[in-house]
Amino acid sequence: MGEPVEIAEFGGGRHPGWPVRLGPLTVAAGVVELRPPRLFDAGAWSRIRIRERSHLENWEPTAPGSWEERNGVLAWPSQWSALRGLARRGQTLPFMILVDGVLAGQVTVGNVLRGSLRSAWVGYWVDSEVTGGGVATAATALVVDHCFRHAALHRIEATVRPENTPSIRVLTKLGFREEGLFRRYLDVAGGWRDHICFALTAEEVTDGLVDRLVAAGRAQHG
């Protein structure tokens, strides 16, 4: 499932589960692995993001500046630094998705809350060249299993616009439960959009999402 987990100190406590590499897991599109973001990802990240604007923009939160400004090469260092800082403080677990060793997207576990809640959300995007090949499903399975087994989390949520059929397929395929509709939940693509909330708790996947994919013939270890 991944390399031994390093424990980072943060705020007087301990942050389990990051940094670490996860995978490999073979799906139709190729061999999927997850690793922490790196500064030198700038070029590959920007090329995909600029090319995939029409594929991604309708599903991502509204932000200042043009798409090109937010996703150009020069935008990556500040994003990388912010992700690394949040991860070191135990507030997020960010990963780059690799397919056959090539950058193909991101999967992020964010808003990590400890104490008696121990919850977080998961979000992802993948290059359209590998959509439909099981990459998003594999990446989400790897990271959710890691959160439950090694990152000391109990509940993972995902919120998706009702129109985002591919993402809903990913979540339902993995066994996420639909819990309700959040009205005007998030400012996306210039407007307040409804989102469906999906969730899983650790007790629901004691067998592991990756093992479920393998048993169903959707993936292979290694």
Count H helices and E strands in the chain, helices first: 7, 11
Q: Report the alpha-carbon distance of residue 93 to residue 11 in Å, rounded.
A: 16
Q: Minimal CA–CA distance to 99: which of 174, 27, 38?
A: 27
Considering the domain boundaries, does residue 81 fall inside one?
A: yes
Find the domain containing 63 and state its range: 22-215
Considering the domain boundaries, does residue 146 fall inside one?
A: yes
> How many domains is the chain partitioned into structurally?
1
Considering the domain boundaries, does residue 11 fall inside one?
A: no
pLDDT tier, 15 (very low <50, low <70, confident <90, very high otherwise): low
Considering the domain boundaries, does residue 164 fall inside one?
A: yes
| pLDDT reported for residue 8 | 41
Question: Which one-letter amino acid corresponds to residue 149?
Answer: R
Question: What CATH number is associated with residue 160?
Answer: 3.40.630.30
Rounded to 5 degrees, φ, ψ at 194 are: -65, 145
Considering the domain boundaries, does residue 63 fall inside one?
A: yes
pLDDT at position 153 over 70:
yes
pLDDT at position 175 over 70:
yes
Considering the domain boundaries, does residue 179 fall inside one?
A: yes
Considering the domain boundaries, does residue 17 fall inside one?
A: no
Considering the domain boundaries, does residue 15 fall inside one?
A: no
Q: Over the stretch 107-152, which tens digit does the pLDDT of each residue have?
A: 999 999 999 999 999 999 999 999 999 999 999 999 999 999 999 9
Q: How many CB atoms lie within 10 A of CB 181?
A: 12
pLDDT at position 207 over 70:
yes
Least confident of 6-10, 70-74, 113-117, 190-194: 6-10
